Each structure stands twice: as C-alpha cells, then as structure tokens.
Structure 1
C-alpha cells in the first residue's frame, strides 16, 4: 500500500496547489510587497526632470549681487587694499588742487602778492604783476592736463590690479615743483624785488 500525503486526497488525484500557483495570468496578490526595481525608473525620471529645470533656470552673471565671484578673479590682499585707499586719497587731493588752481587763476597775482605782503616781503616794489598773472594761468592749464593724464593712467593700472598709488603721487610732486619754479622765476626775475630782498627788506629767516 502506497503512502499518500494528506494534501493528495483530492478527487482528481492532483496535489493541493500552493498559494497562488494556479492564479489567473496578471493576477497580483493584494498582500504581496511591491517590487523595488519597478520604482527606480520613476525616481530617475524625476531626477532628470529636476536637473533639466535647474539647467534652464537663469543663473546670475559673475560679479552681480549675490552671484559667486568670477573664476580666476584676484583676491585683494592687505597691501592691495592699502594701495587702492592711498590711490583714491591722492587722486582726491590732486583733484582739489586742480580745482583750486583753476579758481585762483583769475586772481593769482593779487592773491599771491597779498600773501607775501602779509608775510613781510616788499611786494610794493614788485612790478611784474602781469607776468605773475600769466604764470598763474599756465599753472592752471598744466594742472588740468597732468591730472587728466594721471587719472586715465591710474584707472588703467587699477583695472589691471597693479600698484597705482605712485602715479598720482609722482604727478603731484611734478606739478608742485613746476609751480614753485615758475613762481620763483617770475618773482626773482624782477630786479627791484630781488634787490629789496637782498637789502634785508624781507622777513628775517
């Protein structure tokens, strides 16, 4: 006698089917866990869509407010910052000097002689007022021309991140030297004024 399994007591003699073995095609168990690989393409699709939206979103231009710095843009060190501050300060002083020379050009001779007379120099014997006034006009024109060239050159050096403070400094020294030389040439070119200084009519040093 053949031993039979308790599950083989069906009328047709076939073994009892396991869970879902004879289920219709396409039937999905309501308690079966979802398959992970099927959800992966959807996640990948959403990631691709997010990347496309980020790529289409307008990016701020380099150097704009809130934008990252331009690639390769030099970072200002302490020495560079000092150079820029000194450069702007010297440019401001030079501009003030130029404006003063232009404003005083029309009264240069009288203003200078008044200052010299207050200091005790014998300006009453000076006879070269016209030459001194002409010297004031020349100083004003030269100051404007030198300042314009200095400003252009300084801006170019600042944009190139080069040391620039010496440019307005040198221009100021040159203009001051030319101004002093021109004024002294006119003053001491007057024989009476020079003789009065030599005779001790001027202030004691």
Structure 2
C-alpha cells in the first residue's frame, strides 16, 4: 500500500514550505481597510421663507365656506328635482306638467355627487396650496365654476328631456 500523504509538500502551507526550504517565514498578510474619511457636514439648506399672504388665506377660506354653503343648498334642491324643474318651466312660461321624475331623480343624484366630490377636491387642492405658501384664492373660484357648470348640465339634461319642454321648444321653432 502506498502512503496517502503528499511526498513533495504540495498541500503544505506557505509557512511550512518556507520553513522546510530554510527561508524566512513571511509575515502574514493582513488586509486592513483604510480608515473611513471623516464625514463632511452637509450644510442644511434653509427652508425658503414663505411669503405671508393673509389676504389670500382669508379669501380662499371664505370662498370655500361659500362654496360649501352653495353645495349643501344645491344638493338639497337637486334631491327634489321635480319641483325645481316645474319651477323652471313656470318661469319660462311652459305649459304642461313635468313627467320624467325617474330621469330627473337620476340626474339630480349625479349632479349632487359631482358637486360634493368637486367641493372636496377643490378644498383639498386649496389647502395643499395654502400649506405650500402658494397663491390659492383662485382654486375655489375655478373649482366652483367647473363643478357648478357640470352639475347644472346634469339638471338641464333632465329638463330638456321632458316632453312638455320639447313640445314648447318645437312650438317656438315652428313660429315664423
């Protein structure tokens, strides 16, 4: 049987090889990472000073409050669209009775939801702009115009869908 040990030191460590060869044992190589550089303090940028706009804040909040009052009263009116459309018909001198109650109720609900969602979005955007120090008075104004127009269009759809209104408009068109 043969001896399983290596004959010529192929498995010897570098220290053992140096010792058998009669050479000096090299010092062990130890990797020492360089010291971390001192952190350089980053100058903290000063927050920009927001310009004081108390008039803008008062006007924006006042417009939001007026818009909320308008939304509440309009939603209450839109929940009974038959009386609203009947009043519109009487004001325009349209004879006949309003008869599309289900359609008007649906469009009244759509208009009410548009107004409520529109006011919430407008208020959120206004508050966001006020907190960032930006001019915000125009946001409730534009929001009111957009969402009142959309909700009014819903009621006009119900109004112009009534047969009495259609016959009135048809009669106007036939007059010379």
Q: TM-score, normalised by structure 2?
A: 0.62
Tell me the equivalent position of 1:145: 117
Cα RMSD for the two superposed structures = 2.5
Tell me the equivalent position of 1:161: 133
Task: Select the residue among 47, 50, 60 that pairs with 1:74.
Answer: 50
Tell me the equivalent position of 2:108: 136
Tell me the equivalent position of 1:189: 161
2:59 equivalent to 1:86: yes
How many residues are matched? 127
Tell me the equivalent position of 1:111: 84
Q: Distance in 1 between matches of 2:113 and 2:158?
A: 17
Q: Distance in 1 between matches of 2:113 and 2:153?
A: 16
Tell me the equivalent position of 2:94: 121
Structure 2: unaligned runs, 5 residues or longer: 1-46
Tell me the equivalent position of 2:75: 102
Larger Rg: 1
Deviations 1:68-115 (A, max 9, x none): xxx965342xxx333223211210111011111332243222233124
Higher relative contact order (CA 8 A, sep 6+): 2
Q: TM-score, normalised by structure 1?
A: 0.54
